[in-house]
Chain A
Amino acid sequence: MATVAVYIEAFSHYAEAMHLPRTLVTHHPMGRPLGPPGSDGRQREVIEAALSLVDSAVAPGTVERMGGVYRPGAAS
Chain B
Amino acid sequence: MSDAHTESLEEFAQSLSYGKRSDLSFKFLPRLGPDVGDALASVLREVGSVFDTGDPSELIDLAIGLQADGYQSRPLTERYRYDDGPFTRPDRPVADSRVALLTSSGHFAADDDPKPLGVESMTQAEAEERITDFLKEAPTLSEVPIATSGDLLEVRHGGYDTRGSRADHNVSFPIDRMRELATDGVIGTLHETAYSFVGACAQTRLIKQTGPEWVARLKSTGSDVVLLIPV
Contacts and interface: CB of A to CB of B under 8 A. Distances in A.
B76 interface: yes
Interface residues of B, number: 61
Contacts of A35: 171
A33 B172 contact: yes
B88 A37 contact: no
A70 B80 contact: no
B180 interface: yes
A17 to B, nearest CB: 5
Given A31-B171, A32-B164, A70-B60, A18 B177 contact: no
B181 A31 contact: no
B64 A1 contact: no
A17 B81 CA distance: 5
A64 interface: no
B226 A34 contact: no
B224 A30 contact: no
Contact of A28 (B64, B71, B180, B228): B64
Interface stretch (B5-13, B46-54, B89-97, B110-118): B89-97
Given A17-B81, A70-B60, 17 more contacts: A1-B219, A1-B225, A9-B64, A9-B68, A11-B230, A21-B88, A30-B67, A32-B164, A32-B171, A33-B171, A33-B172, A34-B174, A34-B177, A34-B229, A36-B171, A69-B60, A71-B57
Interface of B: 24-25, 28, 57, 60-61, 63-64, 67-68, 70-72, 76, 80-90, 93-94, 97, 99, 105, 160-165, 167-168, 170-172, 174, 176-178, 180-181, 186-187, 215, 218-219, 223-231
